[in-house]
Amino acid sequence: MKNITKSKLIGIVITSSLFSGCGGGTGDGGNAFQLFSPLPNNIATPINNPSTTEKNTLGQLLFWDPILSGNQDVACATCHHPAKGYADALILSQGVGGMGLGEDRIGGSLAKRNAPTILNTAFNGIHNQGPHVPEQAPMFWDNRIRSLEHQAKLPILSQEEMRGEDIAEDQIMAIVIERLEAIPEYKQLFLNAFGTSVITETLIFKAIASFERSLIANNSRFDQFLKGDSNALTAIEQEGLEEFVEVGCAECHSGPMLSDYQLHVIGTPDLTLPNGTLLTDMGAGQLDFRTPTLRNLNLTGPYMHNGIFETLEEVVQFYQQASQGENIHPSLSLQDLAPQIQQLDMGDGDGDGDGDGDGDGDGDGEGGNNAIVSFLKSLQDDQFDKTIPESVPSGLQPGGNI
Ligand code: HEC
Ligand code: HEC
């Protein structure tokens, strides 16, 4: 990357968008440089779970209905709320027993991690080329499960998030199904969606996943730029894009979601909770995390698996320091970090020079970082479905105690 000049880079970025339109052609030199492509207009759905309006209607109500939680106080939407970009704006999520929405939420059992957004999870696992297989879509910060259908069960089983203390893990689904079966409106909705009013786990999760796939935001100004509107990004945002590529962010944050969906050790420090407890996700042996999407970041802070950084400026500063081995997790040293982090070329005013003599001096210091942040903020599409149902079939409060 280092010996490619800026003007060539922007050419490559733009050219790559042209290549992306040509249906996965292989073997031409342009593909080697393809870094990004716009999100597609259409989502891919699993062969055994095509999306339908009826499923989405049912899935939306299930997503909002706290009936799925042990104490009927937490819904999926409690932590994945449209007013918070389908995340929750908290450092760590608060589930069972909590009250309030987002930053105002108090008293809930702490989840181990920061809630990612549900927006665009329909596209998890997508790359510039090749098929997108929703059955294999990686989920969670550690990619520990595949597909929205399989993911949806885990928050219900989780004691902190939804289940609570009173119901055993192997009982909760039977109890949830019994509750749903007792509500005629749900039986009718399952009949409409699946042709049967016999409610099963599989059908619950198919409906929720189908609804989640409807929550997309695929028309950011960056998408418009990649589709050929060169005015869609401001000058500073375009400069930020160049910096982003040039310093090496796109070594991991590439593709339509600006994620390679791989796990990497980047050295994020542990989080100290306000009460002084050190949150030791990494201490527990989890060192590598999935490259998250960089779309809609304006709505989804705080950042990282443990919500340790409040602003994008802090995140970019972290990378600048991490690439020098500074301020990283204390049990790691520079050599433990992913090679792409060690190779980040962000300068540090230390003048060690890369010897290529191009002398353009970019990438160093505040200016470059600010431009990167401006670029990150352009990856935003606010035109997503923010519907909050007025009521849910259980008669409980939509979204739980929020
Ligand atoms: C108490 C808050 C909370 C509730 C309630 C909750 N989630 Fe989450 N959700 C999280 C957290 C925290 C994570 C990240 C966990 C991890 O990576 O280990 C997450 C991750 C996810 C992901 C993965 C996204 C990705 O890109 O990897 C999906 C999808 C999701 N939740 C859907 C749901 C659904 C569906 C429900 C309801 C059945 C639900 N969540 C209920 C907090 C919550
Ligand atoms: C080695 C691959 C890699 C490189 C290179 C990389 N990142 Fe990341 N990025 C990650 C991973 C992995 C995480 C999640 C880490 C965690 O949760 O602890 C992340 C998290 C982020 C986040 C937080 C997103 C969120 O929703 O919490 C932002 C913003 C970000 N990176 C921007 C950048 C920028 C800007 C650069 C270049 C300066 C960059 N990244 C370079 C892999 C990478």
pLDDT digits (tens, 9 = 90+) for 206-265: 999 999 999 999 999 999 999 999 999 999 999 999 999 999 999 999 999 999 999 999
Query: 323: Cβ below 6 Å to ligand 2?
Result: no
Residue numbers in the chain where pLDDT is lower than 70: 1-33, 280-284, 348-365
What pLDDT does 349 receive?
A: 42
Domains along the sequence of the chain with CATH: 6-41+220-377 (1.10.760.10), 53-212 (1.10.760.10)
Q: Which atom of ligand 1 is nearest to the CA of 138?
A: 27
What pLDDT does 35 receive?
A: 96
What pLDDT does 281 receive?
A: 67
How many Å apart are CA 81 and CA 215, to the nearest integer?
11
What pLDDT does 6 receive?
A: 44
Tens-digit pLDDT profile for residues 287-314 = 899 999 999 999 999 999 999 999 999 9
Q: How many CB atoms neighbour CB 286 within 10 A?
A: 17
Query: 376: Cβ below 6 Å to ligand 1?
Result: no
Please, are residues 27 and 178 in contact by the beta-carbon 8 Å criterion? no
Query: 76: Cβ below 6 Å to ligand 1?
Result: yes
Give me the residue label for tokens 């809630």: 115
- The ligand that comes nearest to the alpha carbon of residue 302 is 2
Sequence-separated (6 or more) residues with CB below 8 Å from residue 8: none
Ligand 2 mutation pick, 263, 315, 334, 370, max ligand atoms within 8 A of CB = 315
CA of 72 to the centre of ligand 1 (A): 17
- The ligand that comes nearest to the alpha carbon of residue 59 is 1
- The ligand that comes nearest to the alpha carbon of residue 311 is 2
Query: 402: Cβ below 6 Å to ligand 1?
Result: no
Q: Which atom of ligand 1 is nearest to the CA of 111?
A: 12
CA of 359 to the centre of ligand 1 (A): 47
Query: 116: Cβ below 6 Å to ligand 1?
Result: yes
Please, are residues 77 and 89 in contact by the beta-carbon 8 Å criterion? no
What pLDDT does 285 receive?
A: 75
Residue ID of nearest Cα to ligand 2 atom 37 = 249
Query: 9: Cβ below 6 Å to ligand 1?
Result: no
What pLDDT does 274 receive?
A: 76
CA of 187 to the centre of ligand 2 (A): 44
What pLDDT does 348 receive?
A: 66
How many Å apart are CA 281 and CA 361, to the nearest integer?
38
Q: Which two tokens stand for residue 219?
A: 């028309």
Helix (H, G, I), strand (E, B) or coil at 138: strand
pTM of this prediction? 0.92
Helix (H, G, I), strand (E, B) or coil at 81: strand
What pLDDT does 23 receive?
A: 36
